[in-house]
A and B are shown apart, each in its own frame.
Chain A
Amino acid sequence: MNVNQHTPMASPYGQPQPGYTQPGYAPLDGGYPAPYAPYNGPASPYQPGAPPQGISGPARGPPTTGPPPISAPQQYNQYSHSQGDMQNGPPPMTQAQPRPPVSQPYNPGAMNMSGPHPTYPQHYGPPPTMQQVSNQMSGMQITSGPPTPAGPGYAPPHSSQPPVSTAYSAAPPPSYTQAPPPVSSAPTQPPPSGPAASQQYYGSPPPPSQQPFNSSLPPTSQQQFTSSSVPPPPSQQTLPPSSYSGPAPPAGQPPAPPVSQPQQSFPPSQPPFSSAPPPTSQPAFAPGPPPTAPGSFPPRAPPPSSQPGSYPPPTSAPSCQYPGPLPPQQQPPPSQPFPYHSGPPPPRAQMPPTSMAQSNHLPPGPQGPPGPPGPLQQPPSQPGMQTGYPPQQNGAFGQVRGPQPGYAGPYPGQPNYGAPAPAPAPAPPAQKRLDPDAIPSPQASDMPAVQKSRHRIDPDAIPSPIQVIEDDKAKSTEPFTTGVRGQAPPLVTTNFQVKDQGNASPRFVRCTAYNMPCTADMAKQSQVPLAAVVKPLATLPPDETPPYLVDHGEGGPIRCNRCKAYMCPYMQFIEGGRRFQCGFCSCVTEVPPHYFQHLDHTGKRVDCYDRPELSLGSYEFLATVDYCKNNKLPQPPAFIFLIDVSYNAVKSGMVSIVCQELKTLMDYLPRENPEMDSIVRVGFVTYNKVLHFYNVKSSLAQPQMLVVSDVSDMFVPLLDGFLVNVNESRLVIESLLDQIPEMFADTRETETVFGPVIQAGLEALKAADCAGKLFVFHTSLPIAEAPGKLKNREDKKLIGTDKEKSLFQPQVGFYNTLAKECVAQGCCVDLFLFPNQYVDVATLGVVPVSTGGSVYKYTYFQAQSDQERFLNDLRRDVQKPVGFDAVMRVRTSTGIRATDFFGSFFMSNTTDVELAGLDCDKAITVEFKHDDKLSEETGALMQCAVLYTSCSGQRRLRIHNMAVNCCSQLADLYRNCETDTIINFFSKYAFRGVLNNPTKAVRDTLVNQCAQILACYRKNCASPSSAGQLILPECMKLLPVYLNCVLKSDVLLPGADVSLDDRAYLRQLISCMDVTETHVFFYPRLLPLMKLESGSLPVAVRDSEERLSKGGVYLLETGLHLFLWVGASVQQELLLNIFGTPSFGQIDSSMTSLPVLDNPFSQRLREIIDSFRAQRSRYMKLMVVKQEDRAELIFRHFLVEDKSVSGGASYVDFLCHMHKEIRQLLS
């Protein structure tokens, strides 16, 4: 991740990106890595509070560099100009800028109120909201669909609300407990514990936690609330009425009346805070936290004092976080309930729309009206929303990022979970409902929980990815055998062993549905995508055997005469073994004499188990010359390194790093037999405006450089001596690599070309008549006069318009043509980008993406901080097993056919997927459509055959066979789906969609399809239940949360500062990800690190700020990024263990690797980090994020269950929305 600091560098060249500077973040030392840059944008999101921008922009855009230290206060100002007041309070903390804006609107009101409230608590208070929501939402229920083991998984949700306390505390897996704890902590435990507290919270106080949430629930909580103030009740009342008037649920609550208010309420939202809510909240917290609350409100005089006092450290931090606006919200709570605070405060402001607002409002009701107009406006919309889903629409999605809003909204929904009806008691019934389909959760039993549920949707009550993942882990203890048709494999997050018994391992092939509908009608009705994600060359764990290599002799592999399917376990031998019938097309083919074998009494060939192709799902055939290009056995492949040596490249240190590294990498070229030398030949090219080829023939004393200036018509100036064997030319190569950095050390050339560079590599491979891979190290937009010249077309104004799609399309057609030529030659291109500004990844990436290559992007690359990441990526990229000149074909049973393919490849016809290069990390998603009926007896078969040249120059066919069941009942379909794979498909589908459709349309389509899937289930499979209930199939209960993550991704919903390059980069990146990668990419893994045990990882927590404890340290990984989040009041001991420093303030947030300390904790932590890195195809640079540090903004982006600054909905909100959509479909 680069720091803004870099920006300055950029400037010299021309333009610091506006985005970066404006945000004012630039100033901060912590600079954002380019990718994150967008996040900076948050400012914009906040914009609503326009102020932020203005503030930030003017203030310090430029000065930035130095900022780090100073920044805090000043920045504050900037950001929160409005906050001005705030300063006092928050002085210590700097972070929260983003929020401020949000809060701002409220501030006015809030401020006033703030004092009192501990609104926060309110949020907590939300409990009230919850209730309301619940009322409204009462209808909604989330039930796991089909019964299954899932039950347990589900439990959590149920538990969350009513049962909460009990359920969690008791049985529920740690995860659950955790969730609640925080809550509890707040109330029960004194805030002071803050930091350390977090842990404790988790552990013990669960019950209390819940309480806070659900005002009603546990006595305690209620008490608090109640005691604290009237507000709670009011809130409840109001809420329900407002948005969720619909759901009579309010039942229990008087609030009903408020219904009318809702409208009013919205506006009033703020007021509510000020007036009623605050009080309420405070009271609630009063017990413990109250003090904090006050403190938090910096606005007021007291705050400062209070804060320090109450939550000395923590408070400050929190406040910072929500600099301006938040303050009101009183992060105070922060310390403990982190989640709460953070989330709620900001949200409110914006969120008001939804439940939260309402809840708050209610009380304010009286005052309310006056409330901050801003927020209010949103509310108005709500009316419409009332259905229960409002939250999303309202600013919720867009503006507020804080959990609060989200919660508010969502919560309403939750009630559903908890209890069907608003009624306090409802809980039990709710559970029942749930149970019916899927979950016989322990929760059900928990009465208390029930109560909670009513109030609002409890985040713990909705399906938890963590729970599902943990459950799956728990049940997958046995090796997974692939012999059984239609059996869904364990989740990608689970470690399991695979035994190939006739179908391909899920490591190679994963399907969305393991029970395909028999007919097209069914498929259409269910809308469940039928797709498979194939990763043909996947690396297997050491304990699984790689596919066997089968040689059928000179005649080549035995194939079906008609459909040309390769010999596989699905071939039925008949007539005593003289013929076989194809499982795909049923055609009967003679068995060639040399392949004949007798059958046993069951009709199986006697040698069935001796031959991999008859007994296994995955194996390889040795291809004959007929399978080779031009009917010639392939030449050994070649790697060509093309290095940009323009000014930028040299200055950033890239050139010398690459050259230095290549010297050692030469010994690690891919090979099949580790004991042999690789036969891959290498060649070197450097370039700026012209290309320099190098003759490194072994007979030369010195390398020779050949400059080609004629970039308009590229050619290769030499043949002999360009591609060489490393061992033979080692000295010359080393001499060359030593000299390159020197030669260009003083270069002044800033222009580069790009098209000709690839052409050069391509021509070289053509000349050598071999396949190969190009490694291009490139820095800048190719503006030099040459084919493929580009211009800067980054235009923020287009975002959100119909023309946005054009930004994802290549700027010129040149690269498409070039890609085609590359594919024809088997020339795979891997692109390493080191941009300081816009480079048009959408265009530059065309060739890599079409040739099966990869794009790596290191924005604002700086040798010191990014070297490690780059080098690890490079090493891996060079070393990983790769096949060349590949063609993949998927054959299927009659009845379905592969209709669409997603991934990094090129297709010149509709059936053959051509990959110039195919490495072990590339996955291809294949969509199937019916073209006829399938039968339940035979199931649906598919055979994926990949013809490729191995890195040892051998031509091979890798075959993966997969058989799935077919069903005539929809319920079967829903019972055997794999959500992770579906999401993989959806994301690829959507990300490709943005090329041709407005992103909004793409998002709508996704939401629609998802709603249809769920509605279909509800309609056809679920047991009857009230219309208001949200019922999800067990296998798809995470669909909404994951889908929401997809919708919120930068590609589909960019923040104001997400650069076009980043979006294009991600878009391309996703296209070739397998399920494991998409899963963690969309739903990052967040591990609490307070306690580490060797041998097992701590159980992850959900991606929500609410789950973070101020006293904790968390590790978050997305497959691309790795964060270590440090709470502001983390224990000294922990700091000492990890960083070797006793104080939070001394943590150097610019470090990219943890200090090596000799203590078990540090060791284990580094082990974990290393193991994470080892699992991913790209090296993740570690970013240390201190709570309330500026960089936290980036981090928060990955808390995907929360609202995002770019307007993405929180999980709860989205669930409500989804529910609404489903209900619309049903009605």
Chain B
Amino acid sequence: MIFLRQMPNFRVWKRTANASWSQAVSLSTWTAAHVGHCSVMTTYQEFIQQNEGRDGVRFSWNLWPSSRLEATRLVVPVSCLFTPLKERPDLPPVQYEPVLCSRANCKAVLNPLCQVDFRAKIWACNFCFQRNPFPPSYAGISEVNQPAELMPQFSTIEYIVQRGPTAPLIFLYVVDTCLEEEDLQALKESLQMSLSLLPPNALVGLITFGRMVQVHELSCEGIAKSYVFRGTKDLSSKQIQEMLGLTKPAASGQQGRPLAPQDAAASCRFLQPVQKVDMNLTDLLGELQSDPWPVPQGKRPLRSTGVALSVAVGLLEGTFPNTGARVMLFIGGPPTQGPGMVVGDELKTPIRSWHDIQKDNARHLKKATKYYEAMANRSAVNGHSIDIYACALDQTGLLEMKCLSNLTGGHIVMGDSFNTSLFKQTFQRVFSKDNNGDFRMAFGGVLEVKTTRELKVCGAIGPCVSLNSKGSCVSENEMGIGGTSQWKVCSINPSTTLGFYFEVVNQHNAPVPQGGRGAIQFVTQYQHSNTQRRIRVTTIARNWADAQSQIQHIESSFDQEAAAVLMARLGVFRAESEEGPDVLRWLDRQLIRLCQKFGQFNKDDPTSFRLSESLSLYPQFMFHLRRSPFLQVFNNSPDESSYYRHHFVRQDLTQSLIMIQPILYSYSFYGPPEPVLLDSSSILPDRILLMDTFFQLVIYHGETIAQWRKAGYQDMAEHEVFKLLLQAPLDDAQEILQTRFPMPRYIDTEHGGSQARFLLSKVNPSQTHNNLYAWGQETGAPILTDDVSLQVFMDHLKKLAVSSSA
């Protein structure tokens, strides 16, 4: 519950949390009929919540099988979701630096799990068992006078590093000018507005592009000056710097020399402190014309996104390597020329669809993807992140460009137009501040994982890139981005969550002593938005359990929500490189194996199949995951798929779960709003439904409600109650809208409305046109689909799980 208190928007969180619980409840009742009841391990749930609240960690298993063999048999790997910068207003950072294990290849940070000899002033590293003397400053240490990092409640602690340069944040706007006048105007206003949100000492830069790419010089007076690059020519970083006259790059943070803002400003005419060029830039943005080159009939405007990015990356690379920087790319269409081109300028050639991709018919796909990947990697190396704000009715090439954000921790925002509140609010929210008045963003994060010797790390899935740091705790078995114990996360915000996958390497014949604990330490170094360098250290430990004898315990330590998300991340990660059906098959296989492992059943008797409560919701998550846009590309454009996946692999557990299985509330005259099953049977004429899929917020008015509304009852004094009913979901939706990033698409629809499809496509098609009459009309709305319903899915699952041949 701590966690609940901490959350600023606790109502929402409460709701979502409630939602999952209520689902659990309702599902358990739902499944109870089939599976039967298991005792509820409330203790574990509390434990899990506590840990999440304190450390931002959710493990799939909270007891770890003590041998490799047992671990593999558990199907779901030992893994966790980790939110490195989880907001901890109650955790003031300490003003000193961490004490490190002196072993060269360990360097673990002193933590509460370490054994300390207060007399000898020695501590033993719990990862490598190295005995280390305390540094002189710890001379006064004693059992009653312990430093924070030794206290159990500080399993997560944050250090402020005093040395090293502090560089101002950098925001480089890369703006597409091939926009409709209205769109451009809106975008210009948003950009101008954003200037007031930036920290005054932050450096800003502006690059605009269309057919050409212009880098605007901000320091000039009188005449507006910009450097122009041809949109079709790929230039090396060095060429770009030469052409911009930056052959003497500014002192970089790497060189360890403090970089005074003034110096930086002088060295780079293109990046200037906001406070200095505020007016200039506002004017400049105000005068921004939409791309003046004529667009012939039947052509797309020529948009040199690739070169523009290349210039942006090259510019930052040359001037501020290893400094926190955000490249913010605003596009209103796909790149149509030059390197990174996604589609030709002929309108008659549509932009690639999944169909084209599957037929290997997307001409530019590979080349463009490769181009943007290379750029993303360059950018990541320098610690710069790239945001993409794509607003267009058609696709804009996110599929090809997604890696820019995925690898650098940047945002992707997709909308229909810059002139929508979706974009405006979302963009504004990028600059939101926390309670301390600091931006909710951090830069140049390096996340390192250390494990005790029984564990090795297989990889991570999230907005990061590998730093290729091989160490003793790196597994050869890669899952996600593996082969390293360090990852770079160029931009981190409080909700950025990575999935880490581990491998138990302890051999079966070398059992862990009873009561032994495995430990994992996450060391996150980053640049805080106030330009401080900080290190956050999270050390967690879990008990080892012998799968042979303690399988019940292990089962009850299963965090099905975390497991679902972690498995989903694996699936999504695979989907990036594998065919959709293969991924589904793999997921199904894992699910079946899990059910086989933990289900209670009689062979070949599906009806006898039971799952314990700790796993009871898992199949349902998998069912919805299979239907989700993360794995299903049908009805989604490649851009949308990329967009959804992008957010899925970076949001925290709660949000991820919502994405997998949207939440549905029902509003009626019959009682207070209640969460209901995400099922077609919940769609009733006299209800108002509010569905949150994370990406969309749908308010659906049932048939009767819709008619009433149309008749105008809400305006009649005597029907004020109706008015209140109508208002209730709107108010609730507003709350969600105001806190979520990116802002969801808000849809207000009704029975029979075209937008109702958003709802209909999500609910479990328990009633379809096939079985409609069997169920009777009163009970819900039929869905016109051939998709299998949860019922069918479960039936098959049970059958397969109990099958002796499986």
Encode contact with B along A693-734: 1 for CB under 8 Å, 0 otherwise: 100010011111111111001010111110000000000000
Chain B at the A interface: SS class: mixed
Encode contact with A along B193-226: 1 for CB under 8 Å, 0 otherwise: 0000000000000000000101001001011111
A697: chain B residues at CB < 8 Å are 289
B292: chain A residues at CB < 8 Å are 718-721
Encode contact with A along B477-501: 1 for CB under 8 Å, 0 otherwise: 0000000000000000000000000
In the complex, which residues 737-759 of chain A have their Cβ closer than 8 Å to any Cβ of chain B?
A: 739, 742-743
* B436 CB to nearest A CB, Å: 41
For residue B245, CB closer than 8 A to chain A, the reply is: yes
Contact A719 B294, beta carbon cutoff 8 Å: yes
The 8 Å CB contact of B223, one of A704, A710, A715, A718, is: A704
For residue A736, CB closer than 8 A to chain B, the reply is: yes
B294: chain A residues at CB < 8 Å are 719
B243: chain A residues at CB < 8 Å are 690, 709-710
Encode contact with A along B279-323: 1 for CB under 8 Å, 0 otherwise: 000000001010011100000000000000000000000000000
The 8 Å CB contact of A715, one of B212, B244, B287, is: B212
Instruction: Tell which of A700, A718, A720 has the most Cβ of chain B within 10 Å.
Output: A718
The 8 Å CB contact of B244, one of A706, A709, A719, is: A709
Q: How distant is the Cα of A713 from the Cα of B307 in the complex, in angstroms?
A: 15
For residue B106, CB closer than 8 A to chain A, the reply is: no
Contact B223 A707, beta carbon cutoff 8 Å: no
Contact A710 B214, beta carbon cutoff 8 Å: no
Stretch at the interface among B165-173, B229-237, B702-710: B229-237
Instruction: Tell which of A692, A708, A709, A713 has the most Cβ of chain B within 10 Å.
Output: A709
A715: chain B residues at CB < 8 Å are 212, 230
Contact A705 B226, beta carbon cutoff 8 Å: yes
Contact B228 A713, beta carbon cutoff 8 Å: no
Contact A717 B222, beta carbon cutoff 8 Å: no
The 8 Å CB contact of B212, one of A701, A709, A718, A739, is: A718
* A699 CB to nearest B CB, Å: 8
Contact A717 B223, beta carbon cutoff 8 Å: no
A709: chain B residues at CB < 8 Å are 227, 229, 242-245
Can you name the residue of chain B whose Cβ is closest to the Cβ of A701?
B287
B239: chain A residues at CB < 8 Å are 710
The 8 Å CB contact of B225, one of A701, A704, A717, is: A704
Contact B228 A703, beta carbon cutoff 8 Å: no
Can you name the residue of chain B whose Cβ is closest to the Cβ of A714?
B230
Q: How distant is the Cα of A693 from the Cα of B224 in the complex, in angstroms?
A: 11
* A428 CB to nearest B CB, Å: 82
Q: How distant is the Cα of A700 from the Cα of B286 in the complex, in angstroms?
A: 11
Q: How distant is the Cα of A693 from the Cα of B217 in the complex, in angstroms?
A: 14
* B274 CB to nearest A CB, Å: 21
Contact A719 B214, beta carbon cutoff 8 Å: no
Given the contacts A700-B287, A715-B212, A720-B292, A736 and B229 also touching, CB distance less than 8 Å = no
Given the contacts A700-B287, A719-B294, A721-B292, A707 and B222 also touching, CB distance less than 8 Å = no
Given the contacts A706-B214, A718-B292, A721-B292, A713 and B233 also touching, CB distance less than 8 Å = yes
A705: chain B residues at CB < 8 Å are 220, 223-226
Given the contacts A700-B287, A718-B292, A721-B292, A710 and B230 also touching, CB distance less than 8 Å = yes
Given the contacts A719-B292, A719-B293, A707 and B233 also touching, CB distance less than 8 Å = no
Contact B227 A708, beta carbon cutoff 8 Å: yes
Q: How distant is the Cα of A62 from the Cα of B689 in the complex, in angstroms?
A: 96
Contact A702 B228, beta carbon cutoff 8 Å: no
The 8 Å CB contact of B228, one of A707, A719, A736, A739, is: A707
Q: How distant is the Cα of A693 from the Cα of B223 in the complex, in angstroms?
A: 12
Can you name the residue of chain B whose Cβ is closest to the Cβ of A707?
B227
Q: How distant is the Cα of A742 from the Cα of B243 in the complex, in angstroms?
A: 22
Instruction: Tell which of B228, B229, B244, B294 has the most Cβ of chain A within 10 Å.
Output: B228
The 8 Å CB contact of A708, one of B223, B228, B242, is: B228
B223: chain A residues at CB < 8 Å are 702-705, 736, 739, 743
Contact B224 A704, beta carbon cutoff 8 Å: yes
Contact A710 B233, beta carbon cutoff 8 Å: yes
Contact B293 A717, beta carbon cutoff 8 Å: no
B222: chain A residues at CB < 8 Å are 702, 739, 742-743
Can you name the residue of chain B whose Cβ is closest to the Cβ of A749?
B245
Contact B214 A717, beta carbon cutoff 8 Å: yes
B233: chain A residues at CB < 8 Å are 710, 713
In the complex, which residues 520-571 of chain A have their Cβ closer than 8 Å to any Cβ of chain B?
A: none
B289: chain A residues at CB < 8 Å are 697, 720-721
Q: How distant is the Cα of A252 from the Cα of B292 in the complex, in angstroms?
A: 91
B244: chain A residues at CB < 8 Å are 709
B217: chain A residues at CB < 8 Å are 707
Contact B226 A706, beta carbon cutoff 8 Å: yes
The 8 Å CB contact of A713, one of B224, B225, B230, B293, is: B230
Q: How distant is the Cα of A736 from the Cα of B225 in the complex, in angstroms?
A: 12
Contact A710 B212, beta carbon cutoff 8 Å: no
A720: chain B residues at CB < 8 Å are 289, 292-293
Can you name the residue of chain A whose Cβ is closest to the Cβ of B235?
A710
Contact A702 B245, beta carbon cutoff 8 Å: no
Q: How distant is the Cα of A703 from the Cα of B220 in the complex, in angstroms?
A: 12
Contact A706 B287, beta carbon cutoff 8 Å: no
Contact B224 A702, beta carbon cutoff 8 Å: yes
Can you name the residue of chain A whose Cβ is closest to the Cβ of B292?
A720
Contact A717 B228, beta carbon cutoff 8 Å: yes
Q: How distant is the Cα of A819 from the Cα of B214 in the complex, in angstroms?
A: 29
B227: chain A residues at CB < 8 Å are 706-709
Encode contact with A along B234-261: 1 for CB under 8 Å, 0 otherwise: 0100010011110000000000000000
B229: chain A residues at CB < 8 Å are 708-710
Q: How distant is the Cα of A690 from the Cα of B289 in the complex, in angstroms?
A: 24
Contact B228 A706, beta carbon cutoff 8 Å: yes
* A703 CB to nearest B CB, Å: 5
B245: chain A residues at CB < 8 Å are 709
Can you name the residue of chain B whose Cβ is closest to the Cβ of A693?
B228
In the complex, which residues 625-682 of chain A have their Cβ closer than 8 Å to any Cβ of chain B?
A: none
* B214 CB to nearest A CB, Å: 7
A739: chain B residues at CB < 8 Å are 222-223
A703: chain B residues at CB < 8 Å are 223-224
* B233 CB to nearest A CB, Å: 6
Q: How distant is the Cα of A697 from the Cα of B292 in the complex, in angstroms?
A: 11
Q: How distant is the Cα of A706 from the Cα of B217 in the complex, in angstroms?
A: 10
Q: How distant is the Cα of A934 from the Cα of B166 in the complex, in angstroms?
A: 92
Can you name the residue of chain A whose Cβ is closest to the Cβ of B294?
A719
Q: How distant is the Cα of A739 from the Cα of B233 in the complex, in angstroms?
A: 31
Q: How distant is the Cα of A605 from the Cα of B252 in the complex, in angstroms?
A: 88
B224: chain A residues at CB < 8 Å are 702-705
Contact B226 A704, beta carbon cutoff 8 Å: yes
In the complex, which residues 155-170 of chain A have their Cβ closer than 8 Å to any Cβ of chain B?
A: none
Encode contact with A along B573-614: 1 for CB under 8 Å, 0 otherwise: 000000000000000000000000000000000000000000
* A425 CB to nearest B CB, Å: 85
Q: How distant is the Cα of A702 from the Cα of B243 in the complex, in angstroms?
A: 24
Q: How distant is the Cα of A718 from the Cα of B225 in the complex, in angstroms?
A: 13
Q: How distant is the Cα of A713 from the Cα of B239 in the complex, in angstroms?
A: 13
Q: How distant is the Cα of A743 from the Cα of B222 in the complex, in angstroms?
A: 9
Q: How distant is the Cα of A692 from the Cα of B245 in the complex, in angstroms?
A: 14
* B314 CB to nearest A CB, Å: 12
In the complex, which residues 746-783 of chain B have their Cβ closer than 8 Å to any Cβ of chain A?
A: none
A690: chain B residues at CB < 8 Å are 243
Q: How distant is the Cα of A1129 from the Cα of B199 in the complex, in angstroms?
A: 82
* 20 CB < 8 A contacts A-B: A700-B287, A701-B287, A702-B222, A704-B226, A704-B287, A705-B225, A706-B227, A707-B226, A708-B227, A708-B228, A709-B227, A709-B242, A709-B243, A710-B230, A710-B235, A718-B212, A719-B292, A720-B293, A736-B223, A739-B222
The 5 A-B residue pairs with the shortest CB-CB distance in the complex, in nearest-first order: A709-B243, A720-B292, A717-B228, A707-B227, A705-B225
Q: A707-B225, A709-B245, A721-B292 are in contact. List 8 more A-B contacts (CB 8 A).
A: A693-B228, A700-B287, A701-B287, A703-B224, A705-B224, A706-B225, A710-B239, A720-B293
Chain B contacts to A: CB under 8 angstroms:
212, 214, 217, 220, 222-230, 233, 235, 239, 242-245, 287, 289, 292-294
